[in-house]
Amino acid sequence: MTRRHREHGRPRMRTLALSLAASVLPLVTASAAVAPQLAVEPVPFAMDATNQAAWWNPVAEHDGATYFAFDAPADEENLHEVHIAKRTDTGEWTVGCLRAGDGSCVRYNDDIGHHQPSIAVDGRGHIHAFVSMHGHGWRYYRSDEPGSVTTLTNHSAEMPDTDGGVTYPTTTSTPTGDVYLIARVASAETGASPSGRLYRWDVDTSTWTRVAVFAHEPGYAIYPDQLQADRRGQVHILWEWADGSASGIRHLGSYLVYQPEHDRFVGAGGLPVRVPVTTEAPADVVYQPLEGEESKDDGTSSVDPGIQSAKLVLLDPAVRPGAVAYRYRPEPGALFQVRWAQWDGRRWVRETIYSGAMETEAAIGATYHDRVARVYYTFKPPMCDPGSTERGGLFLAEKEVSLRPVRTDAGWTVSLLEDESAILRLATTTRDDGTDVLYLAAPNIDDPPASRLYYATLPRTEDSAEGSADVLASASAAEDETNWAYAADVMVSSALTPQSGGTCLVDGNRTDRNSRWISARGDLTPTATIQLAQPVDVDRVEVYSGYFTDSRAIVRAFTVELLVDGLWQPVASVTDNTRNPVVVDVAGSAPADQVRLVLTDPSGYEGGSDLARVFEVEVYGSRVP
Is 583 a domain residue?
A: yes
Query: Which pLDDT value is given to residue 438?
Result: 98
The model's pTM is 0.76
Does 2 map to a domain? no
Same domain, 526 and 577: yes
- Cβ count within 10 A of residue 438: 25
List beta partners, residue 366: 375
The domain boundary, picked from 425, 448, 470, lies at 470
461 and 522, same domain (yes or no): no
Separation in Å, CA 274 to CA 201, 241, 259, 277: 23, 18, 13, 7
Residues 6+ apart with CB under 8 A from 163: 137, 187, 188
Predicted confidence at residue 551, as pLDDT, reads: 82
**CA 194 to the chain's CA centroid:** 27
Listed in sequence order, the residues at least 6 apart from 297 whose beta carbon sits closer than 8 Å to its beta carbon are 243
**Same domain membership, residue 500 and residue 463:** no
For residues 532 and 624, what is the distance between their CA atoms, to the nearest angstrom? 12
Instruction: Give Dmax over CA atoms of the chain in angstroms.
Output: 87
Between vectors from CA 434 to CA 433 and to CA 438, what angle results, nearest 5°?
120
Q: CA 485, CA 487: separation in Å to the nearest integer?
A: 6
- Are 518 and 560 in the same domain? yes
DSSP letter at 607 equals G
**Do 335 and 321 share a structural domain?**
yes
Over residues 582-622, the pLDDT tens digits come to 999 997 778 899 999 999 999 999 888 899 999 999 999 99
Geometric angle at alpha carbon 120, from 117 and 124, rounded to 5°:
145
The CA distance from 303 to 68, in Å, is: 34
Does 185 reside within a domain? yes
Flag whether 348 is in a domain: yes
Same domain, 460 and 509: no
Burial class (CB in 10 A: 0-12, 13-18, 19+), 551: middle
Counting DSSP H helices and E strands in the chain, the numbers are 0, 44
Q: Which of 445, 470, 495 is the last residue of a domain?
A: 470
Supply the pLDDT for residue 2: 36
Q: Which of 455, 470, 485 corresponds to the end of one domain?
A: 470
Same domain membership, residue 364 and residue 453: yes
Q: What confidence score (pLDDT) does residue 299 get?
A: 83
Q: Is there a single domain that holds both residue 526 and residue 591?
A: yes
R_g of the chain computed on alpha carbons: 26
pLDDT for res 11: 31
Distance CA 535, CA 619 (A): 12
d(CA 557, CA 510) in angstroms, rounded, equals 19
Q: How far apart are CA 447 and CA 613, in angstroms?
A: 9
Point out the residues of the chain with pLDDT beneath 70. 1-36, 316-319, 381-383, 387-391, 403-410, 462-480, 548-550
Among candidate residues 197, 241, 237, 240, the one with its CA nearest the CA of residue 219: 241
Domain that holds residue 557: 476-623
Same domain, 453 and 393: yes
Bridge partners for 250 per DSSP: 307
Residue 562, in any domain of the structure: yes
Find the CATH number of the domain harbouring 160: 2.130.10.120
CA 616 to chain centre: 24
Contact partners, residue 310, CB within 8 Å, separation at least 6: 225, 226, 238, 240, 253, 324, 325, 326, 327, 364
Domain count, the chain: 2
Identify whether 97 is part of a domain: yes
343-345-348 Cα angle (round to 5):
30
- Residue 581 included in any domain: yes
Taking alpha carbons only, the member of 614, 358, 359, 384 closest to residue 498 is 384
Nearest to 458 by CA among 485, 482, 437: 437
CA angle 605, 610, 611 (to 5 degrees): 130
- Shared domain for 531 and 422, answered yes or no, is no
Containing H/E element for 164? none
- Residue 228 has what pLDDT? 95
Phi, psi for residue 334 in degrees, rounded to 5? -80, 165
Same domain, 344 and 453: yes
Instruction: Please indicate, yes or no, if residue 114 is contained in any of the structural domains.
Output: yes
Instruction: Give the single-character DSSP code of 520.
Output: P
**How far apart are alpha carbons 519 and 407 in whole angstroms?**
51
Same domain, 172 and 137: yes
The CATH number of the domain holding residue 587 is: 2.60.120.260
